[in-house]
Structure 1
Amino acid sequence: MTPSSSPAVASDQSVDALIKTIRIPPRPSMLIDVQAELACKEPDPKRLAATIANDVALSASLMKLTNSSFFGLRLKASSVEHAVHLLGLRQSGLLMTGIIARQSVKVENMSLVKFWDFSSKRAQAMAHLASHMRVCSPDLAHTFGLFCDIGIPILMERFEGYQETLDFASQEFEKKFTAVEQERHSTSHTSIGALMARTWGLPEEVSTAILLHHDYDALQDSTTPETIRALIALALVAEYSIHKYHGEETLAEWEKGGALACDFLGLPNDELEDRFEELHDLFNSVH
């Protein structure tokens, strides 16, 4: 080993040691069972419903969401099996993944209501955009939208001063969001989020996009798969639409990557404004 390489090796070892002190929630057995059913050559709605029905709290959450105004179903679900039938297998699987994540990712002495509200809006917005723009699968977009910032509550639990880092990084118009995290904590929410996504058996495209979603140069990098770039671009449009919905016209991340995202998606300004209107109507319909 040359002297010049020693500090790099030491740094890698210290980062590895740090990551071992960060609690990544293990993949819940219920999620394993749901994913296994959906991965079958011929998934069975009755088997999926029976799996979900084994957990009373999860069953109640699925029923509540199924009968909410968001889906606007003509019929109301009267049982878990009925809910799965009304929603379909893929949508039921997506909802269950989100519900299980909410139950599994918690921070002591802190409410994550705002975090999950934002994540849900982003997931809904991304699925809507993906279905209309046909740049990637709406299911994949929804999953990424739900999980792309999942590293934030995990780091919030690990580092006492992480909220201050988050506030500072959110207002940084020049430096990368993740560079601020790295300077202060020797890791980032993107690295930890990608690790959790792999641990939970989420699609590889999701874990890679989580890792890269603050690296807007990737949007111009032809070696980065199109689906990954689509997820990064859609997430940025979705997030800016949520900020505008809440009356916040300035978003540091949009200033850093908005033009690149629009270029990639082929979104001129007038069409972008139309998309924002669609998404704001979508958010209004949910609440």
Structure 2
Amino acid sequence: MNTVADPTAHLAHLDQVDALIKSIRIPPRPSLLADMQRELASNDPSPEAIGKIVASDVGMSGALLKLANSSIYGGRKAKSIEQAILFLGINQVAALMTGLLARQAIPVNSASLASFWDISTRRAQAMVFLSRRLRIGEADVAHTFGLFCDTGVPLLIERFADYATTYADAALEAERPFTALEEQRHSTSHAAVGCLLARNWGLSSDVGWAILHHHDYDVIDDTSTSGTVRSLVALSLLAESAISRYQGDGASLEWSKGGAAACAYLGLSDEETAELLDELAEAFHEE
């Protein structure tokens, strides 16, 4: 039956999808993140106010300093939150804080995702590196997207007992989009759930849309789509390729699906791409 031609069936399908979305536990936005977003949205965001928000959580302060002092962010040694803000700027500090809060709010309890946050953090760092190196977009936006693009995965593992199998099978899809198998088996995808989380947490609309489309590589060539979204999706392919190489896995299937489109959009030759990936791998090894 054609659910589009049959209004009753179509409405029933929408109700089922709505019920499914409501059954997935989306963690509430952390209060520290809300405080930070309010300050950033003010007419004159104060580094001192941001510093106080960060300093209100001792564990968060230490973790932020460790990240701020990594080679990915320039390797300068900040000895205090104030210095970290001075070196990185309040937007990048806010992006790092958002990532740390996400790690607290979205625990990963599945053995199949033991390295989930390590890889997500690595991807976020790679996105910052590429954004700065290619002078494309804002580094803090790239960081936030890189960290959040796969956050739907642990939420779906919590919701569906067999989702870990689906995720592993989808990673072996050589031609179809990664999300096609997820949609087929569960009527949703980690990209859709990650987009919903981004919206609920007050992240930028560009970050949310990029999360939704980060396995839809046709969007890279879609001139009606925001340039920021297209750039984030293109950069994410480079980041994933670098991580795959760093882990010794060789070329990824995702790169074979969208790598050419990404390089064309970013204006990179094969030689320039190889050089960038080598630089990124070196930065990873310096961590």
Tell me the TM-score normalised to structure 2 length.
0.92
User: Residue 98 of structure 1 aligns with which residue?
Assistant: 99
The CA distance in 2 between the partners of 1:250 and 1:242, in whole Å, is: 10
User: Residue 162 of structure 1 aligns with which residue?
Assistant: 163
Using the TM superposition, name which of 188-197 and 54-63 deviates more.
54-63
Q: State the SS of the aligned residue for 1:267.
A: coil
User: Residue 195 of structure 2 aligns with which residue?
Assistant: 194
1:224 deviation in Å? 1.2
The CA distance in 2 between the partners of 1:3 and 1:72, in whole Å, is: 57
Q: Which residue of 28, 31, 34 corresponds with 1:29?
A: 31
1:228 deviation in Å? 0.9
Q: Show structure 2 runs of 5+ residues with no match.
A: none
What is the aligned residue count? 285
Using the TM superposition, name which of 119-128 and 269-278 deviates more.
119-128
User: Residue 256 of structure 1 aligns with which residue?
Assistant: 257
Rate the CA distance shift 1:40–1:113 in 2: closer, same or farther, 3 A: farther
User: Residue 154 of structure 2 aligns with which residue?
Assistant: 153
* 4+ residue segments displaced more than 6 Å: none
The CA distance in 1 between the partners of 2:129 and 2:71, in whole Å, is: 16
| Identity, % of aligned positions | 48
- Aligned CA RMSD, in angstroms, stands at 2.1
The CA distance in 2 between the partners of 1:261 and 1:94, in whole Å, is: 24
Q: Show structure 1 runs of 5+ residues with no match.
A: none
1:33 deviation in Å? 0.6
Rate the CA distance shift 1:2–1:102 in 2: closer, same or farther, 3 A: closer
User: Residue 8 of structure 2 aligns with which residue?
Assistant: 6
The CA distance in 2 between the partners of 1:36 and 1:8, in whole Å, is: 40
* 8 Å contact kept, 1:107–1:157: no
1:68 deviation in Å? 4.8
User: Residue 173 of structure 1 aligns with which residue?
Assistant: 174
* 8 Å contact kept, 2:72–2:129: no
The one-letter code of the counterpart of 2:252 is L
* 8 Å contact kept, 1:219–1:260: yes
User: Residue 50 of structure 2 aligns with which residue?
Assistant: 48
Q: State the SS of the aligned residue for 2:115.
A: helix
| CA-to-aligned-CA distance 1:140-185 (integer Å, 9 cap, x gap) | 1111111111111111111111111111000101221111001111
Rate the CA distance shift 1:49–1:257 in 2: closer, same or farther, 3 A: same
